[in-house]
Structure 1
Amino acid sequence: MYQLKSDDSENLNQLLRERIIAYNQQHFDAERIPLGYKFVDKNQQIVAAVFAHVFGHWLQVNWLWCDETVRAQGLATKLLVKIEQKGKQLGAMQAQLDTLDFQAKPFYEKQGYQVKYQLNNYPRSGIRYFMEKALI
């Protein structure tokens, strides 16, 4: 007999994540290779950074962030170009990311990304864009 219990904990979330990743790895013919770059100031504080994974033929850009004090100075472009170059060296042929309507969609479009899918009313009144770019 099984008992249903409520569990909203981060521990349950992490346990399920680990188990699904372990199961999925048995079926994937590629490993996730982490990539990251950052700009630091004279005090070694991060002012802009990007983190991604190469997964087979895909570069999955997880995070790209610039502190408000350094925006519009080209750092985000340099980070994105660098992570794309490294991804290509590791076999990525496509890049994928997502962004919200109040974030960086116009920036990514200038870098050659195109919206492939969007979630309207996300989470209630915004839009979440899933974007891709060919790297070859």
Structure 2
Amino acid sequence: MYQLKADNTDALNSALRTKMVEFNAQHFDAQRVPLGYKFTDEQGELVAGISGCVFGNWLMISWLWCSDVARGQGLADKLLTALEQSAIELGATTAQLDTLDFQAKPFYEKRGYSVKYQLNNYPRSGTRYFMEKPL
């Protein structure tokens, strides 16, 4: 007999993700190829970085971050350009990302991204934008 139990742990979340990835892999003809770039300072400390993956025709951008001291120096633009170029070389034709209303929507719009849909009142009073760009 099955038993319903509450489990609010990261371990359950991780196990479910693993199971879904295994299930989905049976139906996809593509593998995720991780990509990332970073800038470090003289001490080797991370000051800016970007990560994502190519999955078939898609560049899926996960994270783009710049430290306060690195902002306004063009590092984010260089990171995004490098990631997009690597994705194109791997066959990606479209880039996808999400950003919040207080993050980088104008930055992405200036670089050709457009909002495909948005979640209003996220998580309560903000907006989460899902954006795409042809590569």
* TM-based fold match above 0.5: yes
Report the aligned-residue RMSD. Answer: 0.4
Other-structure match for 1:52: 52
TM-score (structure 1 length as normaliser): 0.98
In the alignment of these two chains, the number of paired residues is: 135
Query: In structure 2, how many angstroms separate the alpha carbons of the residues matched to 1:105 and 1:27?
Result: 33
Q: Which runs of 4+ in 1 moved over 2 A?
A: none
SS of structure 2 residue aligned to 1:30? coil
Query: In structure 1, how many angstroms separate the alpha carbons of the residues matched to 2:3 and 2:86?
Result: 49
Q: What is the CA deviation profile of residues 54-86 of structure 1, one whole-angstrom value per residue up to 9, with x for unaligned ones?
A: 000000000000001110100000000000000
Matches within 5 A, 1:111-126: 111-126=111-126
Other-structure match for 1:6: 6
Shift of 1:120: 0.2
Q: Would you say 1:92 and 2:92 are equivalent positions?
A: yes
TM-score (structure 2 length as normaliser): 0.99
Query: In structure 2, how many angstroms separate the alpha carbons of the residues matched to 1:122 and 1:106?
Result: 18
Query: In structure 2, how many angstroms separate the alpha carbons of the residues matched to 1:18 and 1:9?
Result: 15
Matches within 5 A, 1:28-43: 28-43=28-43
Structure 2, unmatched stretches of 5+, are none
Query: In structure 1, how many angstroms separate the alpha carbons of the residues matched to 2:4 and 2:45?
Result: 47
SS of structure 1 residue aligned to 2:83? helix
Structure 1, unmatched stretches of 5+, are none
Other-structure match for 1:134: 134
Other-structure match for 1:81: 81
Query: In structure 1, how many angstroms separate the alpha carbons of the residues matched to 2:33 and 2:19?
Result: 19
Other-structure match for 2:103: 103
Other-structure match for 1:24: 24
Shift of 1:2: 1.5
SS of structure 2 residue aligned to 1:129? strand
Query: In structure 2, how many angstroms separate the alpha carbons of the residues matched to 1:68 and 1:117?
Result: 29
Report sequence identity in percent: 63
